Structure 1
Amino acid sequence: MNSAWWYRVLTGLCEIGWAFGLKYTEGFSKLMPTIITVVIMILSFVLLAQAMRTLPVGTAYASWTGIGAVGTTILGIILFNDPNDALCLLCIGLIIAGLLGLRFLAKE
């Protein structure tokens, strides 16, 4: 896996981190969670920009949001008892299939 895809994985993990961070900022009313969340957001964008140096913009952006969506949804199910019915899990599977397709089938 080339460095652009490593950037994509890292920025996807940051996407998950700042999505959860937003919950803990309570509308940006708590200082420390807000600072941590904003730092993770900035890191996520920096890593995305690095990935876009070699990956097509559509591939980079779709994988960034896809990793973030899947990770955030799964952690929401685990940590906050978010809905996890069969349709939800099917949709997560479809996003994962799309991410794998972008990784292994998209031309770089």
Structure 2
Amino acid sequence: MAWIILILSGALEAVWAAALHRTSQATGRRRLVPGLVFLVAVLASTGGLAVAMQSIPTGTAYAVWVGVGVVLTSAYANITKVERATTARLLLLGGIAASVVGLKLVA
């Protein structure tokens, strides 16, 4: 159960990163809804990490949490055309995803 919570918490890391990106408009004014999504997601994400760390070693849990967040945030950025999906970038993100799976296998 801790691993499921950890993976979902990593996914929420991608949610709060995307919401944080959307909090500013071109005019520099802050937008309320993305700000609230950011706040809820960051609290749930770090809370889930804390719960998972009760039964998964700290280093492993943190690496998986960040890895899932990085891969999903980058995927979102590629889909929304905020970043270009180059071959090198996709290969390196695949390496991060493989490392996350590897940490699960050896933990």
Contact 1:21 1:34 in 2 (8 A): yes
The reply on whether 1:104 has 2:86 as its aligned counterpart is no
Against the structure 1 CA distance between its residues 34 and 28, is the aligned structure 2 distance closer, same or farther, given a 3 Å change threshold?
Answer: farther
Q: C-alpha deviations, 1:72-92, integer Å up to 9, x for none? A: 111111112512111101101
The reply on whether 1:9 has 2:10 as its aligned counterpart is no
Distance (whole Å) between structure 2 residues aligned to residue 28 and residue 88 of structure 1: 32
Q: TM-score, normalised by structure 1?
A: 0.90
Q: C-alpha deviations, 1:6-30, integer Å up to 9, x for none? A: 1111101100100100011117821
Distance (whole Å) between structure 1 residues aligned to residue 82 and residue 23 of structure 2: 20
Query: After superposition, where does 1:43-54 map in structure 2 within 5 Å?
Result: 43-54=44-55
Contact 1:16 1:71 in 2 (8 A): yes
Contact 1:4 1:54 in 2 (8 A): yes
Tell me how large the CA RMSD over aligned residues is: 1.4
Query: After superposition, where does 1:1-108 map in structure 2 within 5 Å?
Result: 3-26=1-24, 29-106=30-107
Distance (whole Å) between structure 2 residues aligned to residue 46 and residue 11 of structure 1: 8
Which sections of structure 1, spanning at least 5 residues, go unmatched? Answer: none
Contact 1:14 1:40 in 2 (8 A): yes
Q: TM-score, normalised by structure 2?
A: 0.91
Aligned partner letter, 1:91: L
How many matched pairs? 104
Contact 1:22 1:28 in 2 (8 A): no
SS in 1 for 2:80: helix
SS in 2 for 1:19: helix
